[in-house]
Amino acid sequence: MHLMMVGGGELLEPLRARVRALGLADRARLYGWALPAEIPEYMAACDVFCLPSRREGCPNVVLEALASGRPVVATRVGGVPELVCEGPGGNGLLVPAGDPQALGHALVRALDMAWDPEALRGSVGALSWDVVGDRYYALLEEVLRERRGAG
């Protein structure tokens, strides 16, 4: 197993130092920030995408991973549970934030599972602006019909 980390921040250099100190430089690559045009190349090089955030909004990178046909292992924070569906036909696994053991177990499980890249790509379609917009519009129409019927 190899770790490929893309992203930066104040912890990048301390993490690089820790990787070297543990003698894991041949198994862990910490690339730093990537340009948007480079993301598909990184996604193609991984088997599972991991987002171990403690806080998130609605991360586009999860959609990018799914659009690349990669399953997602992520923490159950912010809007992530709206994007990652567990269970049969799901597109990933969710774990509690701040639980490295659960994250490690989920990564091993995800690597052992047989994922269908086309189904993973298809799961993004259910999250498109058109589909979500249609759902909101239908919900609004339903609420208006109920209000008119109750009045």
Instruction: For the sheet with 49-51, list strands across it.
Output: 49-51, 72-75, 92-95
Look up residue 4 and give its two tokens. 């490929």
Q: Count up the domains in the chain and report the number.
A: 1
pLDDT of residue 138: 84
Task: For residues 102 and 96, give the distance between their C-alpha atoms in angstroms, rounded to a whole number.
Answer: 7
**Domain presence at residue 29:** no
User: What mean pLDDT is predicted for residues 19-47?
Assistant: 95
What is the residue range of 116's domain?
A: 34-125
**Domain presence at residue 151:** no
Q: What is the CA radius of gyration of the chain?
A: 19
Q: Where are the beta strands (DSSP E) in the chain?
A: 3-6, 28-32, 49-51, 72-75, 92-95
Q: Give the number of other Cβ atoms within 10 Å of residue 27's Cβ.
A: 11
Is the pLDDT confidence value at 14 over 80?
A: yes
**Domain presence at residue 7:** no
User: What mean pLDDT is predicted for residues 131-144?
Assistant: 82
**Domain presence at residue 87:** yes
pLDDT of residue 151: 59
Task: For residues 83 and 57, give the distance between their C-alpha atoms in angstroms, rounded to a whole number.
Answer: 11
Confidence of residue 133 (pLDDT cuts 50, 70, 90): confident
**Domain presence at residue 115:** yes
Q: What pTM did the predictor assign? A: 0.81
pLDDT tens-digit readout, 77-130: 999 999 999 988 899 999 999 999 999 999 999 999 999 999 999 988 776 677
Is the distance from CB of 68 to CB of 61 less than 8 angstroms?
no
CATH number at residue 91: 3.40.50.2000
**Domain presence at residue 130:** no
DSSP code for 23? T
